[in-house]
């Protein structure tokens, strides 16, 4: 049996973003997990009953259709065993078990990846900044990473393409999902000059939870994350927080102090993000380590004029890899993504007077955690010590609470209602 089938089986059963480090540390590989069987799973102490139930409902043999579909479309399946698996993912507790790659998987090992994120409802100013900054970073030798969405994400990819550079787009849905049809041509260009990547099986449709889960990959893939034009509730602030938790650098482009579109970005600057006025402000952090990969000439000034086009390039660049079938995409998830964006608040400015009601449908573990949270932020370690559930279940529940909007998350892994 193809070893990839076991990786796909495990991710298919547990879901994208599930914490798997404890399980794999005990068993070594998905294949060994599978053949250990349910009795051993119950005795191991690392599986909950519902996890075992999910594993039993799936079989590695069911993954054949996924592998066949990828082969037919020229998509690569990358697992942690592969040479192209990104180094930045290996230290994540919830690292992706499978990556589906449309394009050139070799770009996932690029030494200087920089992510650019921001609002989907960007101003002309924000779009021009994102496009010009991405182009300047690309010309200097960086790989541009973003989320393939409208607004700042699209402009970041376009800037890299205009500079004939490489770029990677991480999706919150499967490669064959009907999502965002207006960006279809852009994704084709990204696949020819980098890669479009997802940890979801090809037919997976987006949900409101998928995009925040996806954001951890954007930040973990990158040495640093640049936030451009983000409001107080922008999903890009989740990416910035994740970057900090992962030990990555966070940069922000200053914006209009009276514009709501820049409140999140300006808050990041107030909390310690490095301000960016040119590509040099980003790359000077890495030039000593990657002197042989970077050329900082002409990166000290960001040129913003009418020559900066934010339109999808019309030219077709030389392809790095086969991409034989186009992905069918439409607009269906735009409203779902908007509902997934979570506020990134400063603990010093919040002092809730009464505890809100817990959302309906929370798991038992999430309800327990919500019960002892207050308006005073506490650490993940303290939460783990108070809970009667296993650590893996607690961390999953914290993600559940965050995505439901029931808790606030602060730098340093602190949580409050």
The per-residue pLDDT for range 212-269, each reduced to its tens digit, is: 889 999 999 999 999 999 888 778 888 999 999 999 999 999 988 777 778 889 999 9
What are the beta bridge partners of residue 251? Answer: 226, 274
The per-residue pLDDT for range 289-343, each reduced to its tens digit, is: 999 999 998 888 776 655 566 666 664 444 444 333 333 333 333 433 333 333 3
What is the DSSP secondary-structure string of 313-360?
P-S-PPPSS---SPPP--STTHHHHHHH------GGG---SSPPPPPT
Residue 78: its H or E element: strand 76-78
Pairing mode, if any, of strands 99-103 and 76-78?
Answer: antiparallel
How is residue 198 written in tokens?
Answer: 């997802």
The model carries a pTM of: 0.74
Fold of 347-416: Arc Repressor Mutant, subunit A (1.10.10)
Beta strands in 157-248 (DSSP E): 167-170, 194-198, 224-228
* Residue 227 near residue 273 (C-beta atoms within 8 A): yes
Domain boundaries, the chain: 3-73, 100-340, 347-416
| Confidence at 351, pLDDT banded by 50, 70, 90 | very low
The answer to whether residue 358 scores a pLDDT higher than 80 is: no
Q: Which CATH class is domain 100-340?
A: alpha beta
The per-residue pLDDT for range 112-128, each reduced to its tens digit, is: 999 999 998 888 889 99
């Amino acid at each position: 049996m193809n070893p990839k089938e076991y990786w796909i089986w495990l991710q298919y059963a547990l879901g994208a973003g599930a914490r798997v480090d404890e399980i794999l540390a005990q068993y070594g590989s998905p294949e060994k997990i599978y053949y250990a069987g349910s009795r051993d799973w119950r005795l191991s102490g690392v599986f909950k009953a519902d996890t075992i139930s999910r594993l039993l409902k799936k079989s590695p043999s069911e993954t054949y259709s996924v592998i066949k579909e990828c082969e037919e479309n020229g998509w690569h399946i990358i697992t942690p065993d592969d040479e192209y698996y990104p180094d930045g993912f290996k230290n994540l507790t919830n690292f992706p078990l499978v990556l589906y790659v449309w394009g050139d998987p070799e770009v996932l090992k690029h030494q200087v990846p920089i992510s650019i994120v921001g609002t989907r409802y960007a101003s002309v100013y924000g779009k021009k900044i994102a496009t010009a900054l991405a182009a300047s970073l690309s010309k200097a030798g960086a790989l541009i990473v973003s989320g393939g969405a409208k607004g700042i994400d699209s402009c970041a990819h376009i800037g890299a393409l205009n500079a004939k550079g490489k770029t990677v787009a991480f999706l919150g849905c499967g490669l064959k999902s009907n999502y965002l049809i207006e960006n279809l041509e852009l994704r084709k260009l990204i696949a020819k000059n980098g890669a479009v990547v997802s940890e979801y099986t090809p037919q997976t449709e987006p949900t409101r939870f998928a995009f925040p889960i996806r954001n951890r990959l954007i930040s973990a893939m990158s040495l640093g994350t640049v936030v451009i034009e983000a409001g107080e509730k922008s999903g890009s602030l989740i990416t910035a927080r994740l970057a900090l938790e992962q030990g990555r650098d966070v940069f922000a482009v200053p914006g209009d102090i009276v514009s709501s579109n820049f409140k999140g970005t300006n808050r990041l600057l107030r909390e310690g993000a490095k301000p960016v006025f040119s590509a040099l402000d980003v790359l000077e952090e890495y030039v000593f380590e990657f002197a042989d990969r970077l050329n900082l000439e002409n990166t000290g000034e960001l040129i913003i004029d009418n020559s900066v086009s934010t339109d999808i390039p019309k030219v077709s660049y030389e392809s790095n890899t086969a991409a034989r079938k186009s992905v069918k995409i439409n607009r269906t998830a735009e409203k779902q993504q908007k509902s997934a964006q979570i506020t990134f608040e400063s603990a010093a400015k919040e002092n809730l007077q009464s505890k809100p009601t817990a959302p309906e449908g929370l798991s038992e573990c999430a309800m327990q955690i919500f019960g002892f949270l207050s308006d005073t932020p506490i650490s993940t370690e303290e939460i783990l010590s108070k809970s009667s559930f296993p650590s893996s279940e607690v961390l999953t529940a914290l993600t559940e609470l965050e995505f439901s909007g029931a808790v606030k998350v602060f730098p340093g892994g602190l949580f409050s209602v």
